[in-house]
Amino acid sequence: MKKKLLFLFLVCTGISFTNAQGIFDDSIHTATTFGSVNSPGAEGVQNIIDQNSNTKFLDFNAFDGIGFEVDLLGVSATAIAMEFVTANDAPERDPTTYEIFGSNDGTNFTSVATGAIPCISTRFFSRTFSFTNTNTYTFYRVNFTGTCGTSSINQIADVQLFESIGDSPVITCPANITVNNTAGQCEATVTYNVTANDTEDGMLTPTVTSGLASGAAFPVGITEVFMSVTDSDNNTSSCSFTVTVVDNEDPVAGCPANIMQTAANFGDTTAVVNYTLTPTDNCVLINPLTDFTPLTNINGKAYYLSNNSFSPVNAFNDAITQGGFVGTIRNATDNATITEAIGNVGGAGDVVIGFSDTDTEGTFVWQSGDTSTYNNWNPGEPNNAGNEDYTVIQSSGGWNDITNVVTYRYLLEIDYTPTQTAGLPSGADFPIGTTTNSFTITDLAGNAVMCSFDVTVDANLSVAENAFSNSIRLSPNPTKDIITISSATNISVSEISLLDLNGRILKTISSIGQLSDGKTIDISNFAAGIYFMRLQAADDSVAVKRIVKQ
Q: Environment class of residue 481 by beta-carbon count within 10 Å: exposed (0-12), middle (13-18) or buried (19+)?
A: middle
Q: Is the pLDDT of residue 8 over 70?
A: no
Average pLDDT score, the chain: 90
**Cis before residue 418, ω within 30 degrees of 0?**
no
Q: Is the pLDDT of residue 201 over 90?
A: no
Name the band, by pLDDT with cuts 50, 70 and 90, for residue 234.
low
Q: Is the pLDDT of residue 10 over 50?
A: no
Please give the average per-residue pLDDT across 226-250, as a whole number: 88
Name the band, by pLDDT with cuts 50, 70 and 90, for residue 399.
very high
State the CATH architecture for 10-162.
Sandwich (2.60)
CA 141 distance to own-chain centroid? 40
The structural domains of the chain, with segments of one domain joined by +, span 10-162, 170-246, 259-282+418-458, 292-415, 463-549
Q: Is the pLDDT of residue 498 over 80?
A: yes
Q: What is the pLDDT of residue 432?
A: 84
21 three-class SS = coil
Q: What is the pLDDT of residue 6?
A: 33
State the CATH architecture for 170-246.
Sandwich (2.60)
Please give the average per-residue pLDDT across 162-177, as a whole number: 84
Q: What is the pLDDT of residue 49?
A: 97
Q: What is the pLDDT of residues 323-371, one digit of tens each?
A: 999 999 999 999 999 999 998 888 777 999 999 999 999 999 999 999 9
Class of domain 463-549: mainly beta
Name the band, by pLDDT with cuts 50, 70 and 90, for residue 517.
confident
Please give the average per-residue pLDDT across 163-175, as a whole number: 81
Q: Which CATH superfamily is domain 292-415 in?
A: Mannose-Binding Protein A, subunit A (3.10.100.10)
Q: What is the pLDDT of residues 424-447, one digit of tens each?
A: 999 999 988 899 999 999 999 999
Please give the average per-residue pLDDT across 295-323, as a whole number: 97
Q: Is the pLDDT of residue 173 over 50?
A: yes
pTM tops 0.75: no
Please give the average per-residue pLDDT across 201-230, as a whole number: 93
State the CATH architecture for 259-282+418-458.
Sandwich (2.60)
Please give the average per-residue pLDDT across 410-429, as a whole number: 96
Q: Which long-range contacts (CB under 8 A, 24 or more apart) does 309-314 make?
A: 309/407, 309/408, 309/409, 310/352, 310/407, 310/408, 310/409, 310/410, 311/404, 311/405, 311/406, 311/407, 312/352, 312/356, 312/389, 312/390, 312/402, 312/404, 312/408, 312/410, 313/390, 313/404
Q: What is the pLDDT of residue 68?
A: 97
Q: What is the pLDDT of residues 385-396, one digit of tens each?
A: 889 999 999 988
Domains 170-246 and 463-549 share a fold: yes
Q: Is the pLDDT of residue 220 over 80?
A: yes
Q: What is the pLDDT of residue 2?
A: 28
